[in-house]
A and B are shown apart, each in its own frame.
Chain A
C-alpha cells in the first residue's frame, strides 16, 4: 500500500526515465506511434496494398472475368469485417491476459444458437439477438475468467491453452448434446441482393459488415478514450506497473476477457444469417481468428481488423487460385508463411 505513494515521491529524474522507457514496452494495443514508427507502418501498409494489387491482377489473369474477381473481393471484404470483429476479441484477450483462447469460437457458437432461439421462438429479427447475446456473453466471459481461468493465471502457457481447449470441447459438445448435429438457420427476412459493379452483395452481408465495423470502432474508442480502456492498455503494457499505480489488475483481467467474449457474441449474431449453424461452426471461426490475430500481430487490435479483411480476401481469392481445394487451404498457407516470415505480424515490431 505504501509503495505507490513512495513511487510518487520519487525524484523527478526517475520518473523521467520511466516515461521514456514506456513507449517501447507498449508495442501491443495500438498506442499513438512515434514518427519513425509511423513511417515504418506506412511502408508496410504500402507493401500490403502492393501485394493486394498483385493478387487481384493474378486473380483477373487466372479467371479472365472481372465480375468474378469483383464478387470475390466484395464477398471477402464483407465476411472479413466479421472475421476482424472476432479476432479483435481474441487479440485483446491475448494482449492483456496472455492467453491463447481456444474457446473463442465456442463462445461464438453459443451466440449462433442464441440467435436461432430468438428467431425460432419469438420470430424476432436475427439482429435483435444482439441485445441478448452481447450482455449474456459478456457475463459468461466474466464468469469463465473469474471462476476457471483465474486459477491458471501466471501458469505455463500450456495450462491455459488446455483449459480453454477443455472449455471449447465442453461448449461445442454441450450444443451438440442439446441441439443435435443437424444444421439450423436464422435467415434474415426478405434478404435481397444489391448490384455493385456487376457483382451481387446481399443486404445481410452488407449489414453484417457495417455493424461489425461500427462495433469494432466502438471497441477502439472504448480502449482509447475511456478510463477502463486506458487501464486495460496499461495492464497489457505492464501488469505489475499497472498494479503499482493502483489499477485492480484482477478486475481488468475479468473485464477484458468479458469484452473479448462479448465481441465473439456480437460476431456470432452477425454471421448467424450467413452460415449453416452447427455445433462445430464456431471451431471454424476460431481457426480463422487465430490466423487473423497472428497476421495482425498478437495483441494488436487495429491489426486484427485489417488482418480480418485480408484473410477474408485471401479466402475468396484463394478459391480462385486453387479451384477444387477448400478456401481454408489458402488461409492456412498464408498463416504458415506469416508464422515463419513475420511471426510478430504485419504491423508488429520485431521482438
Chain B
C-alpha cells in the first residue's frame, strides 16, 4: 500500500541519469583550465580558445542531433545569426556584445523554431531533414551576401576601442580574459547539457528519439519537445558565433554561414562521441591542436615536404581522414568507446 502511494508521488517513468559525477568533473576541469594562462604561451592560448569555440559549437549541435536524433547539416545558420545579430547591434547601434549575445540567442532560437516547425510539420526525416537544414543555412548565406543591411559580402570588422573592456569583450591580443570568457561559456553549455539531460525535457527528447510512436502514445508532446530541443541547440551554437566575432574581430557571410561552419559543428561531436556529454569537448580538444599542428607543418615543412610551403588544405584533409576512420572504426567516437570499455570491466 505505502509503496503504491510513494510511487504515485514520485512517478519515475524514465531513469534520471546520475549527474553528480559529471558536475564535479566540470568543476574540476573549469578550475584547471582557468589556470592555463599561467603556463601557456600566447600562441598556445589561442589554440585553447579555438578548442573552446569548437566545443561550444559542437555542444549545441549535439543537443539537437545527438540527444534529439535530428541530424542537422545547417548549424552554420545559428552560428551566423549569433555572429551577425551581435556585431550588427555593436557596429550600427553601439550595443554591448553581451546584450548582442542574448539577442543572438533569441534570434537563433526563433529562426530554429520556424525552420524546425516547417521541417517537422511536413514530416521530413533522415536525409531530407538534413538537406532542409542545409538549404536554410545556405539561403541565409546568400541573403547576407547580397543584402545592404549587413554590408553584403564585405561583412563587419569589430571597431577597436583602444582599451580593455569587460563590457565590450575586448582586451589586449592574447589576454587571459578571452580564455576565461570562452571557458565560462563552454562550462555553462556543459552544465546546461547535463541539466537538460536530467530535466523532463531532456528525458522526453531521448524518449522521442528512441521511439517516437511509443513516446507519443505515452502522452509526450512530440512536436513541442522537438522544437524546444532545437531551440536550445540553436541558442548554444549562436553563443559560439557571438564570441567568435569578438575574438577574431571579423565576420563575413562565408565565415558565418558557410557550410564549413556546419561541418565544424559536426566534427568534434562525431569524433568525440555523438549523444554523450563529454564527446564534443573531447573531440574539440583533439581537433584544435591538430589544426595548429598542420598549420605549423605548412608554414615550416620538414625536409622532403618543402612543396607544402605556404599551401592550404592540409588541415581539412587531416580532419577528413580522421572523420572517415572514426565513423568506420569507432562509430561511438573516442569518448563513447572509452566509456564502453570502462563499463565492461
Q: Which of A's residues lie within 8 Å of B, judged by CB? A: 100, 148, 151-152, 155, 157-159, 161-163, 165-170, 172-177, 180-181, 279, 283, 287, 290, 294, 298, 324-326, 328-329, 332-333, 335-336, 339-341, 343
B118 adjacent to A174 (CB under 8 Å): no
Question: Chain A residue with minimal CB distance to B145?
Answer: A326
- CA A158 to CA B274, docked complex, whole Å: 11
Q: Are A336 and B135 in contact (CB under 8 A)?
A: yes
Closest partner residue, chain B, to A148 (CB atom): B324
Query: Which chain B residue has the least Cβ–Cβ distance from A169?
Result: B320
State the CA gap A181–B316 with chains docked (Å): 14
Q: Which residue of B lies closest to A291 (CB)?
A: B135
Neighbouring B residues of A169 by C-beta, 8 Å: 263, 316-317, 319-320, 323
| Bound Cα distance A111, B73 (Å) | 26
Sample of 6 further A-B pairs with CB below 8 A, known A181-B312, A325-B143: A166-B320, A174-B313, A294-B128, A329-B142, A336-B136, A339-B122
Q: List 28 A-B contacts (CB under 8 A).
A: A100-B130, A100-B131, A148-B324, A157-B127, A159-B327, A161-B71, A165-B263, A165-B323, A166-B320, A166-B321, A169-B316, A169-B317, A169-B323, A170-B317, A172-B313, A173-B313, A174-B313, A176-B312, A177-B308, A177-B311, A177-B317, A181-B312, A287-B138, A326-B145, A329-B143, A335-B131, A339-B128, A340-B124
User: Do the beta carbons of A162 and B143 come within 8 Å of each other?
Assistant: no
- Asked whether, in the complex, the Cβ of B314 is within 8 Å of the Cβ of A177, the reply is yes
Residue B106 at the A interface, CB < 8 A?
A: no
Rounded to whole angstroms, the CA-CA distance of A167 and B325 in the bound complex is 11
Whether the pair B142, A325 counts as a contact (CB closer than 8 A) is yes
Leading 5 A-B pairs by shortest Cβ distance = A176-B313, A173-B313, A169-B320, A170-B320, A166-B323
Q: Is A158 a contact partner of B328 (Cβ separation < 8 A)?
A: no
Q: How far is the CA of A17 from the CA of B118 in the complex (A)?
A: 40
Residues of chain A contacted by B311 (CB below 8 angstroms): 176-177, 180
B154 on the A face (CB < 8 A): no
Partner of A173, one of B135, B317, B323: B317
Measured between alpha carbons, how far is A132 from B323 in the docked complex, in Å?
Answer: 30
By a CB distance below 8 angstroms, the chain B residues around A180 are: 311-312
Give CA–CA (A292, B71) in the complex, Å.
21
A151 to B127 CA separation, bound complex (whole angstroms): 19
B130 touches A329 (CB 8 A): no
Task: Tell me if B205 is interfacial: C-beta within 8 Å of chain A.
Answer: no
CB distance from B328 to the nearest CB of A (A): 5
Main secondary structure, interface of A, reads: helix
Would you call B146 an interface residue if the criterion is a C-beta within 8 Å of the partner chain's C-beta atoms?
yes
Choose among B135, B270, B327 the residue that contacts A332 (Cβ–Cβ < 8 A).
B135
Chain A, residue nearest B136 (CB): A336
Q: Contacting B321 at CB < 8 Å: which of A158, A170, A328, A333?
A: A170
Interface readout for B321-334 with A: 1 if CB under 8 Å, 0 if not? Answer: 10110011001000
Q: Which of A279, A324, A326 has the most CB of B within 10 A?
A: A326
| Closest-CB distance, A335 to chain B (whole angstroms) | 5
Report yes or no: B146 in contact with A173, Cβ–Cβ below 8 A: no
Q: Which residue of B lies closest to A180 (CB)?
A: B311
Please give, as numbers and ranges, the residues of chain B lying within 8 Å of A341 by CB-CB distance: 122
B138 close to A328 (CB less than 8 A): yes
Bound complex: CA A71 to CA B245 (Å): 43
A166 and B327: CB pair below 8 A? yes
A15 to B316, CA, bound (A): 53
Residues in A neighbouring B263, C-beta threshold 8 A: 165, 169
Bound-state Cα–Cα, A172 to B127, Å: 22
Residue of B nearest to A344 (CB): B128
| Contact yes or no, B320 A290, CB < 8 A | no
A159 engages B142 (CB within 8 Å): no
Give the chain B neighbours of A100 by CB distance below 8 A: 127, 130-131
Interface of chain B residues 45 through 77 with chain A (CB within 8 A): 71, 73
Give B284-342 interface residues, CB cut-off 8 Å to A.
308, 311-317, 319-321, 323-324, 327-328, 331
Q: How many Å from the CB of B280 to the closest CB on chain A?
A: 15
Separation of A169 and B267 alpha carbons in the complex (Å):
12
What residues of chain A lie closer than 8 Å to B246, measured between beta carbons?
Answer: none
On whether the beta carbons of A339 and B142 are closer than 8 Å, the reply is: no
Chain B residue numbers with a CB within 8 Å of A332 are 135, 138-139, 142
Contacts of B274 on A, CB cut-off 8 Å?
158
Say whether B126 faces chain A, with CB atoms less than 8 Å apart. Answer: yes
How far, in Å, is B233 (CB) from chain A's closest CB? 16
Residue B230 lies at the interface, judged by CB distance under 8 Å to chain A: no
B251 interfacial by beta-carbon distance below 8 Å: no
In the complex, how many angstroms separate the beta carbon of A192 from the nearest chain B beta carbon?
33
A162 and B311 alpha carbons, distance in the complex (Å): 26
Chain B residues near A167: list those with CB within 8 A.
320, 324
Give Cα distance in the complex from A51 to B117, angstroms.
27
How long is the Cα–Cα vector from A101 to B138 in the complex, in angstroms?
18
B292 to chain A, nearest CB (A): 17
Alpha-carbon gap, A180 to B130, bound state (A): 31
Q: Is B266 an interface residue (CB 8 A)?
A: yes
Task: Indicate which residue in A173, A294, A325 contacts B320 across the interface (CB closer than 8 Å).
Answer: A173
Pick the contact of A336: B132, B146, B259, B313 (CB < 8 A): B132
Contact B316 A343 (CB under 8 A): no
Interface residues in B178-204 (C-beta closer than 8 Å to A): none
Verify B131–A170 contact, CB threshold 8 A. no
Q: Chain A residues near B131: list those with CB within 8 A.
A: 100, 290, 294, 335, 339
Cross-chain contact B266 with A162 (CB below 8 angstroms): yes
Decide: B135 and A177 in contact? CB cutoff 8 A. no
> Beyond A161-B71, A169-B263, A169-B316, is A343–B328 a contact (Cβ under 8 Å)?
no
Interchain CB contact under 8 A, A326 and B324: no
